[in-house]
């Protein structure tokens, strides 16, 4: 990550990066594959973060 960012922006980007992952396999098994996609996943090129 670049050093020319403010601390709040780095914290927001880090939080978004950590939350951007797939649904765990045990949840897929438990729900009989009803939930295969995570609703919060985003691509860094397609979707931007909110400014707040």
Residue 42 dihedral angles phi and psi, to the nearest 5°: -150, 160
Domain boundaries, the chain: 7-37
Both structure tokens of 31: 């729900």
What's the predicted TM-score (pTM) here? Answer: 0.62
pLDDT score at 52 = 58
pLDDT attached to residue 31 = 92
- The pair of structure tokens assigned to 16 is 């978004």
Backbone angles phi, psi at 14, to 5 degrees: -65, -40
Band of pLDDT at residue 25, cut at 50, 70 and 90: very high
Reported confidence tier of residue 1, pLDDT bands at 50, 70, 90? low
Supply the Cα-derived Rg of the chain in whole angstroms.
14
How far apart CA 30 and CA 42 sit, in angstroms, is 24
Residue whose tokens read 């939350």: 19
**Percent of the chain predicted with pLDDT > 70:** 94
Mean pLDDT value of segment 26-44: 89
């Amino acid at each position: 990550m670049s050093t020319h960012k403010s601390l709040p922006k780095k914290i927001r980007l880090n939080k978004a990066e950590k939350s951007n992952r797939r649904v765990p396999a045990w949840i897929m098994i438990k729900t009989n594959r009803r939930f295969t996609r995570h609703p919060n996943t985003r691509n860094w090129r397609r979707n931007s973060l909110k400014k707040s």
